[in-house]
Structure 1
Amino acid sequence: MPGKPPKRGNGGLAVALIGGGVVLALALVAAVLVIAQDGDGGGGGDGEVRLRVGRIAGGAEATPLPDGSLAMARPGVTSPVVDVYEDFACPHCGDFDRKHDPMLKELAVSGRAKVVFHPMVIFGESTQPAHDNALRAASALRCVGDGARWLSYQDALYAHQPPSISSQGYSTADLLSYAEPLGLTDDGFRRCVESQRHAASVKTVSRGYISSGVQGTPSVRVNGHTLSVSDMETPEAMRRAIGG
């Protein structure tokens, strides 16, 4: 069963940094896409996270948003909007990512949908260690300002997801080590992760999602309409539900 409140309740996209760019290997698409990025991952030396658009070959962009979500779409594509609500401690979210992530990314880069990822914490504080695992992971992701590396780090988090909600995971040291191969090594990023600077905001945003009707993770909305379990059974079923 997906993560749900109040019980509260690996990456499908392979990402590799090559020189100044990121190569995205889509398992379901016979194509190689390159994300262009400049400089560091967005964590400034002063500790502030500077949000930057990740430019993707083919014309799509990955745009981190102030609330911790990330929108991926070609410029000018505004519909359908596919909102994906995810909790990194939820095993079903890991399964969902492995099954659907390549298809969702392909829709975005081909201009057939705008995909928005919404990391959140669905588990209540009494559900440990799942709550704290998810909070550390989502807070660390907020420390990545560059859209390209945001996607890379999200994949790394799923690749190292704790095997169950009763498993300890996503320690601060681990979160920093997952970031190193992606070039996220600056002091600003390290301090942001170590202090869990965005933890309070993650909690606030998560409560907002739950208040809006998100009752479990993974959840997907298409233009505001929540997809059923059958709609998410396979990538083909979800593609039909999205209309892509």
Structure 2
Amino acid sequence: MANSSQRERLRAAQVADQKRRRVRVGAAIGVGVVALVAIGAMIWSSLGAASPGAVRPPNATAAGDGIVVNPSTAQPNAPVVGLYFDYQCPHCVTFEEKYGLTLNNLANAGDIELVHHTKVFLDKGNADGLSHKAANAAACADVAGVYKDYHQGIFTSAYQGAYTDELFRVTLPEQVGITGEALTTFQACYDSKTMASFVQGVEDAAAKAGVTSTPTLMINGKAQDLSTLPDDVSQLKSFIDAAAKG
């Protein structure tokens, strides 16, 4: 009887030990699964950060065909003024010089929604051309929150000769106040051509919209005859309002 009882106690101990081992193995597997899920989540998050949507500037239009200069400022039913230009276009430089400040003032006041559609057709397909570089830099400046000032800086610099990487990476950022980590981020955006797909998308959308020359001014989607624009810039709002109604 004694031996029988001893064997039963030993057997019970073995069964209990096996149960404890199964619990430990199950816990280890559970921890492993949780770790794999966490790693997977981090990888998914990283991929998401590099998704096509992430390479758009923050103030891109919903269609991805331009950049809204005055987001959340335009009054309800304000005319949408779309300006198509190429940063290497001489006529665009003179247009900006004459009408740019007035358009910006109307945008700041909420009288219009101003959208810039930056074309790069003067590069003739060269993705490393100066039009592409300027458009990419401007889009990166939107990420830095200084798009409008940077845009104006590009056109002002057009009178100083051909654009350069030094201008886009160092001179203009300094002028518009991009410094520290923001400058590092901006330069990385510029150097890696982060906005290349967005820039090309804007060009493709402009071509699809039938825009074949620059500058082109559209009011509520209708191209305007630039020769009819008022010479007196103080009358530009009245011209835009009339065109929007027509």
Aligned-partner Cα distance in 1 for 2:105–2:175: 24
- How far the C-alpha of 1:181 sits from its partner, in A, is 2.4
Corresponding residue for 2:241? 243
Aligned-partner Cα distance in 1 for 2:173–2:123: 27
Corresponding residue for 1:178? 172
After TM superposition, the structure 1 = structure 2 runs for residues 79-94 of structure 1, keeping only pairs within 5 Å, are: 79-94=78-93
Aligned-partner Cα distance in 1 for 2:201–2:155: 23
After TM superposition, the structure 1 = structure 2 runs for residues 199-214 of structure 1, keeping only pairs within 5 Å, are: 199-214=196-211
Aligned-partner Cα distance in 1 for 2:56–2:197: 19
Corresponding residue for 1:69? 67
Q: Which is helix-richer, 1 or 2? A: 2
Q: Which is strand-richer, 1 or 2? A: 1
| Alignment gaps of 5+ in structure 1 | 1-45, 53-62
The verdict on how the C-alpha distance between 1:135 and 1:233 changes in structure 2, with shifts beyond 3 A counting, is: farther
| Alignment gaps of 5+ in structure 2 | 1-48
Verify the 8 A CA contact 1:89 1:162 in the aligned structure 2: no
Counterpart amino acid of residue 158 in structure 1: F
Verify the 8 A CA contact 1:85 1:220 in the aligned structure 2: yes
The verdict on how the C-alpha distance between 1:69 and 1:51 changes in structure 2, with shifts beyond 3 A counting, is: closer
Counterpart amino acid of residue 165 in structure 2: T
Verify the 8 A CA contact 1:70 1:118 in the aligned structure 2: no
Provide TM-score, normalisation by structure 1: 0.64
- How far the C-alpha of 1:162 sits from its partner, in A, is 5.9
Partner SS for 2:142: coil
The count of aligned residue pairs is 183
Tell me whether 1:145 sits opposite 2:142 in the alignment. Answer: yes
Aligned-partner Cα distance in 1 for 2:84–2:240: 15
Aligned-partner Cα distance in 2 for 1:121–1:144: 17
- How far the C-alpha of 1:109 sits from its partner, in A, is 2.2
Q: Which has the larger radius of gyration?
A: 2
Provide TM-score, normalisation by structure 2: 0.64
- What RMSD, in angstroms, separates the aligned Cα atoms of the two structures? 3.0
User: Structure 1 stretch 114-123 or stretch 67-76: which is displaced more?
Assistant: 67-76
Aligned-partner Cα distance in 2 for 1:123–1:102: 24
Using the aligned pairs only, state the percent identity.
24
The verdict on how the C-alpha distance between 1:99 and 1:194 changes in structure 2, with shifts beyond 3 A counting, is: same
Aligned-partner Cα distance in 1 for 2:61–2:200: 16
The verdict on how the C-alpha distance between 1:159 and 1:124 changes in structure 2, with shifts beyond 3 A counting, is: closer
- How far the C-alpha of 1:191 sits from its partner, in A, is 1.1
